[in-house]
């Protein structure tokens, strides 16, 4: 496994296709078409995709709890999913649970759907990192990773499905006609 950080990889050329925390999958370097520079020109540091799902709600609350602890407390983030109404409810619940009424007005909502590639692309152009909480990944993970790779965003998800992660890496690499390059891939559980 290479020790280079994803941010350094983006600046120097190739990006890591996928990086995971639960079932850790760090893909081999995957060169992609012109990269979008990861910079302060993106409106959000993080977008939580699938924020109204079971796990996404916990992620929203944890991000809301820790945002003030970031560098100078200026982490910008948004929630994303298929239903604006459900996302508003998640923000309201997190605001009430944390005693942060400003949360509802301080966090933006992005409507995006795995089944609508244009909405995914629009979502993935906005943050530096997409925290993907949409599952099961064997059905819904690949379009999100592909949109992130194509739009210069990092993708981190909570997948406990290493087979789906491996399949996603192989499929995206194949679409980019990179041939077999996966000898550097590592899967750890």
Structural domains of the chain, with CATH: 17-26+38-188 (3.40.50.720)
Statement: residue 110 has pLDDT above 80: yes
pLDDT at 131: 96
Residues paired with residue 80 on neighbouring β-strands, in sequence order: 49, 110
| C-alpha triplet 5, 29, 163: angle, nearest 5° | 100
The secondary structure element, H or E, covering residue 173 is helix 162-175
Burial class (CB in 10 A: 0-12, 13-18, 19+), 149: buried
The whole-angstrom separation of Cα 20 and Cα 157 is 6
pLDDT at 30: 41
pLDDT at 161: 86
Statement: residue 16 has pLDDT above 60: no
What percentage of the chain has pLDDT greater than the value 70?
Answer: 68
Could you tell me which residues come within 8 angstroms of residue 35 by beta carbon, excluding any fewer than 6 positions away?
A: 10, 13, 15, 152
Inter-residue contact 155 to 144 (CB < 8 Å): yes
pLDDT at 73: 67
Statement: residue 153 has pLDDT above 80: yes
Q: Is the dihedral of CA 157, 159, 162, 163 positive or negative?
A: negative
């Amino acid at each position: 496994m290479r020790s280079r950080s994803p941010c350094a990889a983006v600046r120097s050329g190739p990006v890591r296709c996928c990086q995971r925390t639960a079932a850790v999958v760090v893909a081999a370097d995957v060169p992609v078409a012109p990269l979008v520079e990861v910079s302060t020109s993106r409106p959000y540091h993080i977008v939580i995709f699938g924020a109204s799902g079971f796990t996404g709600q916990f992620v929203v609350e944890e991000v809301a709890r820790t945002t003030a602890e970031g560098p100078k407390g200026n982490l910008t983030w948004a929630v994303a999913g298929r239903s604006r109404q459900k996302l508003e409810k998640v923000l309201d619940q997190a605001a009430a649970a944390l005693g942060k009424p400003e949360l509802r007005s301080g966090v933006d909502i992005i409507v995006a759907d795995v089944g609508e590639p244009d909405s995914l692309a629009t979502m993935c152009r906005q943050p530096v990192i997409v925290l993907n909480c949409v599952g099961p990944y064997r059905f819904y993970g690949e379009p999100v990773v592909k949109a992130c790779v194509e739009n210069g965003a990092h993708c981190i998800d909570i997948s406990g499905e290493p087979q789906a992660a491996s399949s996603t890496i192989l499929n995206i690499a194949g679409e980019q006609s990179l041939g077999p390059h996966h000898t550097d891939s590592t899967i750890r559980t």
